[in-house]
Amino acid sequence: MNKDSDDIYLDAYTLYPPEEEISLDELPKLPAHVPETKIKGETNILLKMRWSEYKRTKNPICVVEAFLIAHEAGIYPPMWALDFLHTGFKEYHDSQGLKDLSKLFGLKRGKGQDPIFQPLIEEDRDSMLCLDVYRLQTSFDFSVEEASYMVARRLEETENWNKSLFKIWQIGEETIKDKYLKKWKNIFDKDFIRDEILSWTKEEKAGYLKQFPEDSYPVQ
């Protein structure tokens, strides 16, 4: 990822080594780097979103989440996250542990400062809803209005959808459509996301559609 540009390029990821023992003969045959097309699409999206949000807000939770997302996907965290962690750990080490590590990383917020988690949770809510709008448009050729209505109806019928400790508001059809058109459509409209959606089998498409209330389906 080009760290000095807002443009999104084809990224390469470095894979973790295998957990099982390997021989020296096998070692040269193991892939070390793979293009983003070989990584689960949602991992790509989440890492790019965290980088974009970190550039915009400098929220350190973006770094924490990028580290967790990459580690759980079996790939090394992106360099921008490692650079951030290196800076904080080095300053902590140079102070011989006298400086507060949570303050060095910006994790401890003072009175009157913006909350650190809530904006990202709201961003996640918007991204998940709008990604479904994009999927419905791409896979089923539904209009933005039809897809937004379906996504809003599913949210209405999903109990306890907010798993966070914060009060996150449920948003409706018009708000979803507005957020999608103003921001998220351009973020999701990339070849690697579109190609993954278009590769769904009939069974996968049918299973995905079943996630939405039947009374929300567009009238044919």
Which tokens sit at 161? 């959808």
* Cβ atoms within 10 Å of 118's Cβ, excluding its own: 14
pLDDT (tens place) for every residue of the chain, 220 residues total: 444 444 445 578 888 888 888 887 877 777 788 877 777 778 888 888 889 889 988 899 999 999 999 999 999 999 999 999 999 999 999 999 999 999 999 888 766 666 788 888 898 899 999 999 999 999 999 999 999 999 999 999 998 898 888 888 899 999 999 999 999 999 889 887 898 899 999 999 999 999 999 999 998 6
In this prediction, residue 173 carries a pLDDT of 96
CA 220 to CA 140: how far, in whole Å? 12
Return phi, psi of residue 15, to 5°.
-80, 150
In this prediction, residue 167 carries a pLDDT of 86
- Identify the sign of the CA torsion 105, 109, 113, 114: positive
H/E run at residue 35? strand 33-35
In this prediction, residue 140 carries a pLDDT of 96
Return phi, psi of residue 192, to 5°.
-70, -30
Domain parsing of the chain, residue ranges: 12-104, 118-216
- Burial bucket for residue 150 (CB in 10 Å: 0-12, 13-18, 19+): buried
Nearest to 122 by CA among 173, 179, 68: 179
CA 143 to CA 154: how far, in whole Å? 17
In this prediction, residue 114 carries a pLDDT of 63
Nearest to 81 by CA among 125, 50, 115: 50
CA distances from 74 to 34, 63, 70, 80, 184 (A): 12, 17, 6, 18, 27
In this prediction, residue 87 carries a pLDDT of 96
In this prediction, residue 8 carries a pLDDT of 45
In this prediction, residue 184 carries a pLDDT of 93
Query: What pTM was computed for the model?
Result: 0.73
Residues in the chain: 220
CA 33 to CA 15: how far, in whole Å? 6
CA 132 to CA 114: how far, in whole Å? 29
Return phi, psi of residue 33, to 5°.
-125, 140
Which tokens sit at 180? 């999608």
CA 34 to CA 97: how far, in whole Å? 38
